[in-house]
Amino acid sequence: MDFASLIFFFVIIVPSSIIHEYMHGFVANYFGDPTAKYAGRLTLNPMAHIDLWGTIIMPLTLFMFSGGRFMFAYAKPVPVNPLFLRGGRISGILVAAAGPFANFATAAVISIIMRVLPASAFTSVLALIVYANILLGVFNLVPIPPLDGSKILFPLLPASFNSLKEGMERYGFVLLLTFIFVVGFQWLLPIIFSIFRLFTGTASPF
């Protein structure tokens, strides 16, 4: 990823992460939890979602550590109160899945547009939008707290896994940093590029 691609990617991934968080709040509100709405987070206004570490510092750090091969950003997590959710465990899983689903849906729609247009600088930008949203969707499905993957998987595990879940939730941030900076992007890139190829018919946006 060259510097120009980095700028475009950064501009793209921040709004994509905001859409991701907005959908968590939207689905939670649909199932009866107005917490995000009352907190002023049920909006696409970037100022309500930007997180200094997750939206600005971490993406730039990841870009440098990965030699320009990997960047990830997240917006400020939308507050959800499971006690308000209708449908219990299933609604909680759907709220967690809403963010990654929004990113994959965005990637799918943009890839359709990309396929019908002739190759140009504009389709290159569309390819970055597809890539950024696939990256966000895949990364958030990793089952390490506080990522969405843990909120989807953990409610489905039997009680015998409770101690493991509690340990991972206690040290989730450390586990997540280890995953990101030590092995994460190397394991995820083949998956991300495979989905990108499936959506767009091309191997890479770069």
Catalytic annotation, residues: 21
Spatial distance between the Cα atoms of 169 and 152, rounded to a whole number of angstroms: 14
Alpha-carbon gap, residue 113 to 16, rounded angstroms: 17
Tell me how far apart the terminal alpha carbons of the chain are, to the nearest angstrom: 6
Cα distance between residue 120 and residue 93, in whole Å: 40
Burial-class residue 132 by CB neighbours within 10 Å (0-12, 13-18, 19+): buried
**Between 121-140 and 88-116, two packed helices, what is the crossing angle to 10 degrees?**
160
Cβ neighbours of residue 187 closer than 8 Å, sequence gap 6 or more? none
d(CA 61, CA 66): 9
